[in-house]
Amino acid sequence: MTSIDSVASSARPKFPGRSLEASSPRWGEKAIFVFLALCGLLSVAVTTAIVISLLIPTIDFFRQVSFEAFFLDTVWAPRQATGRFGVWPIVVGTLNVVFWALLVAIPVGLASAIYLSEYASPRARRTIKPVLEVLAGVPTVAIGLFAFFAMTPAAAALLPFLDWSSLWSVGVAGVAVGLMTVPLVASISDDAMRAVPAALREGGYGLGANKLKVSMRIVFPAAVSGIVASIVLAGSRAVGETMVVLIAAGRTPALTIDPTKSVQTMTAYIAGTATGDIPTGTLDYNTIFAVGTLLFVATLTLNMFAIRLVRRFREVYE
C-alpha cells in the first residue's frame, strides 16, 4: 500500500510557486450567483404570496359563512342586508362562458391547426401564423367592446327568434372569448401535429391513403395528447378571462343556461366588487378572496393537467 502511495505522490507534477486553485476567492462571482438565485426564487415567493394573500381572508370568510351556505345555496347576493352567499350562480356563469368559448375555439382552432400543419404551403404558413399571433395579442378590452357593441347587435339581427331584451348576452361573450383563445388552440395543436415523425405520414401515403385519411387517422390520433392539452389550456384561459365578460356578459348573477341572458362570472364579480370602496376586513371584502381562491384552484388544476399532457407528448417523440 505505502509503496503505491509514495509512487503516486512522487509522480504528481509540482509546479514551482503555483497551485491549481483559483488565484482569488472571486467574491464578485459568488455575489452574482446569490443575486441570480434570488431572482429564481422570486417565482416561488410569488406563488407563496398568492396563496397566502388568498387563504387568510378566505379562512376569515368561512368563519362567518358556512360551507353549506357557500356551496349549496343558489342565490348570490352578498351585498344585501340578509346576504346570501351561494356561489353557484357565478360559477354557472363562468361555466356558460367556457362552454360557448370551447364550442367556438375547438372547431376553429383545430381546423386552423390541421390546415397549417398538413395542408398549407410553407409560404402560407409563414403568412398565416403571424396573423394568428396578432389575434392573440389584441387587448381584451378591445375584444370586449367589439363583442358588446358589434357582435351582440349582429347576433340579435341574425337570430331574431330568440329573446334579446337583455343588453348583455353570455352566449356572445362566450363566443368572443372563444375567438380570443383560437390562436392558443391552433398553435399548440399545430406544434403537437408537427412533432409527429414524418415517417408515420409517409408510411400512410406509401400504403395508398389520401391526405384526409393520413391527417385524421394517423397524425391526429398520434398528436391527441397535445391537442387535448391545448383545449384544456383554452378552457383555463376562458375561466380566467375578465374584461370581455365584464363588458359583454354583465354584472347580474343568474342561474341560467340561456345564452341571451346576462350572467356574472367569478372574474366579473371580483373585478366589479374590488373597484368599489370596501374597507379591509369586512365580509364583503372577504368574498372577493373566497371567490378568488375558487378561481385560482380551478385554473391551477386545469393548468397542471395540461402541463402533464404537454410533457407527455414532447417526451414521446424527442
Instruction: Looking at residues 188 to 227 of the shown chain, list those that interact with another protein (rule: CB under 8 A).
Output: 206-208, 210-212, 216
User: Of the candidates 140, 166, 252, 256, which one interacts with another protein according to CB under 8 A?
Assistant: 140
- The contact pattern for another protein, residues 248-287, with x = CB under 8 A and - = no contact, is -------------------x--xx--xx----x-------
With H, G, I as helix, E, B as strand and everything else as coil, classify residue 85. Answer: strand
195 Cβ contact partners less than 8 Å away, ≥ 6 residues apart: 223, 226, 313, 314, 317, 318
Name the residue nearer to another protein (CB basis): 49 or 159.
49
CA dihedral sign, ordered 296, 239, 144, 90: negative
Grid cell at residue 314: 414532447
- How far apart CA 246 and CA 211 sit, in angstroms, is 43
CB 143 within 8 A of CB 244: yes
DSSP at 79:
T
Rule CB under 8 A: say whether 167 interacts with another protein: no
Instruction: Determine the interface stretch with another protein among 61-69, 196-204, 218-226, 234-242 (rule: CB under 8 A).
Output: 234-242
Q: Least distance to another protein from the beta carbon of 307, Å?
A: 6
Instruction: Looking at residues 44 to 103 of the shown chain, list those that interact with another protein (rule: CB under 8 A).
Output: 44, 46-47, 49-50, 53-54, 57
Instruction: Determine the interface stretch with another protein among 66-74, 85-93, 133-141, 196-204 (rule: CB under 8 A).
Output: 133-141
Q: How many residues bind another protein (CB under 8 A)?
A: 89
Q: Where do we find the cell 401515403? A: 205
Name the residue nearer to another protein (CB basis): 237 or 261.
237
Grid cell at residue 26: 472571486
